[in-house]
Amino acid sequence: MCGIFGQIAAGAVSNTVKALKYLEYRGYDSAGLALRRGDCLEMYKTEGRIATLERIVDGIDEATVAIGHTRWATHGAVSTANAHPFLSEDGNFAIVHNGIIENYRELKALLPQVKFTSQTDSETVAHLLRQNYRGDVLQTVLTTARMLKGSFAIAVLSVYGDKLYAVRNKSPLVVGFSSNGAYLCSDIRCISHWATSVAVAPDNAVAEIGKNGAKFFRLDGTPVDVKFFAPPRAEETESFEGDFMLKEIFEIPAKLRQAKRNYVERGGLSLDADTVRRLKRIYLIGCGTAYHSGLAVAAVARKFIDADVIPVVASEFIYDNYPVDGDTLAFLISQSGETADTVRAAERVTESGGLTYAVTNTDSSSLTFKCDNCVNICADGEFAVASTKAYNCQIAVLTMLFADIALLRGTLSAKKHNAIFREIDGLPFAVEQILDESYRIAQLAEEVAHSSAVFFIGRTTDYPTACEGSLKLKEISYIHSEAYPAGELKHGTLALMERSVTVVAISTDPALRDKMISSVNEVTSRGARVIAFAPYAMEGVDTFELPPTGELLYAATACVPLQLLAYYAAKSLGRDVDKPRHLAKSVTVE
Ligand code: F6R
């Protein structure tokens, strides 16, 4: 989703381009930057890739103040006119914006004399700044910020002085410094390429950023204190040539080891026994892939936990009437820790007196600040927009959390608890065996790529794997795909089975093997082709044999061949696997 960067330091243009390249992983459709040269602001923007912007600004590097943006369209089509930055009509203010200005129509009505150049909500902010300017930029930004409703991180550059201004409400924004200068960004890992000390801007606040320091203000103008800290190290991505998605799938074994080590070293669950014994219900809340990891772990946790274990899509949880009280624990699962729906769900749990626990890949994210507890899944940065290794680590960490909960509640013996932790140790080896056979998946993917539709089917604990396999395939290959509980096919969907359709059948539970074979027969007899993923050979169909994994943990391994299947099918169709169309990471709007 949109990313912003700003800086006051030498090399403003090249650094901004570098930062925007780092932010590419969030998904975007256009990009731009504004800089100050002499007493004037200049603006450069384009639809498409950062590489195009880089060519446009090639040779301009004397600027020391700049702001930049990657846009993921929400208001108005993908076009250069709708790309950020936006300039006020007099050219004295430039802004970039991440989020949504919900009341932009009313605000536009206050500016009848202005000729808008775009269809965006964001442009309104630039014109309001001009209208509100009375000689003091800080007061202008504060006055303007008080008029805005919605979620936003906005960076403001003006011709009046060398400072940058930032406004934050709900969308991520960090401010940082090094001996070279000052920076702001929507991504803490990105800013750490330059800043050695960073602070997360508070909600409903304005930052006035000079080269050597920043002041933060509440919207009424009163100062607010923030804490600076050393940011997490930034991964180098520039020198890597190849597909990040494939690289990240091949990192899964190492990241699973890291996730287990970190979980044990931090002392496991870290909740007191009385609290855990009192719990009546435990929610697993997330979006997309993160929701699927909750779905997967809920399916196994129900086997050994006596509380209600309820996986819910975050955007549904916010507006539905799921009960929450003092006996409720909610795991908020989010790779980025910035997904707006998941952050709002955490707020809803807190407001109703429940306990929140963030399971993220990003310390110092909005979610970790909102939640009572947090654990890092230690998957490290994902630069492909489609999530892969975070999913495996989420499953491993959530399984350990539930095993610890069950041990404290006495519904899991110490012996079975130890067995689960040993199974976690075995996961990396099982994944390595799958990766060694990736050439076989590449062959299977050729047929998938030429299917008119792909259905992923599984029962109980395999159904979440089907959901994740289907999501991966559709988001990067654009082939229509759906996930179905295998037993549900006969209630309507069999109508779609024909020769051009592929069915991917996942079957890891020996108790349900015969039922899965029946489901497979139902589709093959209607002409569909089946590819099976199971720890045994399935008669009459192409089977990729999964290495045996503990019964409770197949979800963490069975998804790997499906991640590869999606990758190879997308490659075969010539798709841009790392930057698929319309897909955003860090979805910071509801
Ligand atoms: C799928 C994907 C998305 C994210 C979802 C939640 O490959 O990347 O479905 O999983 O937007 O993102 P996080 O985990 O950052 O909250």
Residues 504 and 401 in one domain: no
- Distance, CA 546 to ligand 1 centroid (Å)? 26
Q: Is 234 inside any structural domain?
A: no
pLDDT string in tens for the chain (590-residue length): 789 999 999 999 999 999 999 888 887 889 999 999 888 999 999 998 899 999 999 988 788 899 999 998 888 888 999 999 999 999 999 999 999 999 999 999 999 999 999 999 999 999 999 999 999 999 999 999 999 999 899 999 999 988 999 999 988 899 999 999 999 999 888 999 999 999 999 999 999 999 999 999 999 999 999 999 988 776 666 667 789 999 999 999 999 999 999 999 999 999 999 999 999 999 999 999 999 999 999 999 999 999 999 999 999 999 999 999 999 999 999 999 999 999 999 999 999 999 999 999 988 888 999 999 999 999 998 889 899 999 999 999 999 999 999 999 999 999 999 999 999 999 999 999 999 999 999 999 999 999 999 999 999 999 999 999 999 999 999 999 999 999 999 999 999 999 999 999 999 999 999 999 999 999 999 999 999 999 998 888 999 999 998 888 999 999 999 999 999 999 999 999 988 887 776 676 67
The H or E element spanning position 30 is strand 30-37
Look-up: residue for tokens 């803490």?
Answer: 188
Out of 255, 370, 389, 585, which one is annotated catalytic? 585
Which structure tokens are listed for 535? Answer: 């720890």
Residues 419 and 455 in one domain: no
Given this model, what pLDDT does residue 239 score?
65
Neighbour count for residue 268 (Cβ, 10 Å): 16
> In the chain, helix, strand, coil percent, each to 5?
40, 25, 35
Residues 490 and 528 in one domain: yes
290 lines ligand 1 (CB under 6 A): yes
Residues 195 and 271 in one domain: no
Give buried/exposed letters for 162-194 (b at 16+ CB in 10 A, else e): ebbbbbbbbbbbbbbbbebbbbbbbbbbbbbbb
Q: Is 299 inside any structural domain?
A: yes
467 in active site: no
> Is the Cβ–Cβ distance between 145 and 107 less than 8 Å?
no
Number of domains in the chain: 3
Rounded to whole angstroms, the Cα distance separating 133 from 182 reads: 24
CATH number of the CATH domain containing 9: 3.60.20.10
Partners of residue 378 on adjacent β-strands: none
Mutate to test the pocket of ligand 1, among 362, 388, 391, 585 (most ligand atoms within 8 A of CB): 585
Q: Is 586 inside any structural domain?
A: no
Stated length of the chain:
590
Q: Is 231 inside any structural domain?
A: no
Residues 166 and 70 in one domain: yes
Nearest atom in ligand 1 to the alpha carbon of residue 387 is: 7
Tell me the CA distances in angstroms from 4 to 24, 34, 171, 186, one per residue in order: 11, 12, 11, 5
Q: Is 78 inside any structural domain?
A: yes
Q: Is 283 inside any structural domain?
A: yes
Residues 205 and 249 in one domain: no
Residue located nearest, by CA, to atom 16 of ligand 1: 334
Residues 376 and 445 in one domain: no
Which structure tokens are listed for 37? Answer: 């040269």
- Distance, CA 585 to ligand 1 centroid (Å)? 6
Which structure tokens are listed for 247? Answer: 């690289």
Given this model, what pLDDT does residue 238 score?
64
Rounded to whole angstroms, the Cα distance separating 375 from 398 reads: 10
Nearest atom in ligand 1 to the alpha carbon of residue 286 is: 16
588 lines ligand 1 (CB under 6 A): no
Q: Using the 3D structure, point to which of 371, 406, 428 is the last residue of a domain.
A: 428
Given this model, what pLDDT does residue 38 score?
86
Among residues 35, 43, 5, 37, the alpha carbon closest in space to that of 21 is found at 5
Residue located nearest, by CA, to atom 5 of ligand 1: 288
Rounded to whole angstroms, the Cα distance separating 318 from 283 reads: 12
Which structure tokens are listed for 31? Answer: 């990009």
Residues 549 and 517 in one domain: yes
Query: What DSSP designation does 402 have?
Result: H
Partners of residue 295 on adjacent β-strands: none
Residues 197 and 88 in one domain: yes
Q: Is the pTM of this model over 0.95?
A: no
Residues 418 and 481 in one domain: no
Given this model, what pLDDT does residue 550 score?
81
258 lines ligand 1 (CB under 6 A): no
Give buried/exposed letters for 410-430 (b at 16+ CB in 10 A, else e): eebeeeebeebbebbebbbeb
Distance from the Cα of residue 56 to its chain's centroid: 30
Q: Using the 3D structure, point to which of 195, 224, 253 is the last residue of a domain.
A: 224
Residue located nearest, by CA, to atom 9 of ligand 1: 288
- Distance, CA 198 to ligand 1 centroid (Å)? 25
Q: Is 589 inside any structural domain?
A: no
388 lines ligand 1 (CB under 6 A): no
User: What is residue 425's three-state secondary structure?
Assistant: helix
365 lines ligand 1 (CB under 6 A): no
288 lines ligand 1 (CB under 6 A): yes
Query: What DSSP designation does 223 have?
Result: B
Nearest atom in ligand 1 to the alpha carbon of residue 390 is: 14
460 lines ligand 1 (CB under 6 A): no
Mutate to test the pocket of ligand 1, among 291, 317, 339, 467 (most ligand atoms within 8 A of CB): 339
16 lines ligand 1 (CB under 6 A): no
Q: Is 401 inside any structural domain?
A: yes
Give the range of the structural domain holding residue 522, as residue numbers without chain letter: 437-578
> Is the Cβ–Cβ distance between 530 and 542 less than 8 Å?
yes
> Is the Cβ–Cβ distance between 372 and 566 less than 8 Å?
no
Residues 175 and 253 in one domain: no
Residues 250 and 116 in one domain: no
Nearest atom in ligand 1 to the alpha carbon of residue 335 is: 14
Rounded to whole angstroms, the Cα distance separating 259 from 389 reads: 11
In terms of DSSP H, where are the helices of 437-541?
438-449, 463-477, 513-524
CATH number of the CATH domain containing 556: 3.40.50.10490
- Distance, CA 588 to ligand 1 centroid (Å)? 11
374 in active site: no
184 lines ligand 1 (CB under 6 A): no
DSSP states of 237-261: -TT--S-HHHHHHHTHHHHHHHHHH
Q: Using the 3D structure, point to which of 399, 428, 457 is the last residue of a domain.
A: 428
Among residues 305, 264, 257, 263, the alpha carbon closest in space to that of 284 is found at 305
Give buried/exposed letters for 119-132 (b at 16+ CB in 10 A, else e): ebbbbbbbbbbbbb
How many CA atoms lie less than 13 Å away from 347 in the CB half-sphere? 11
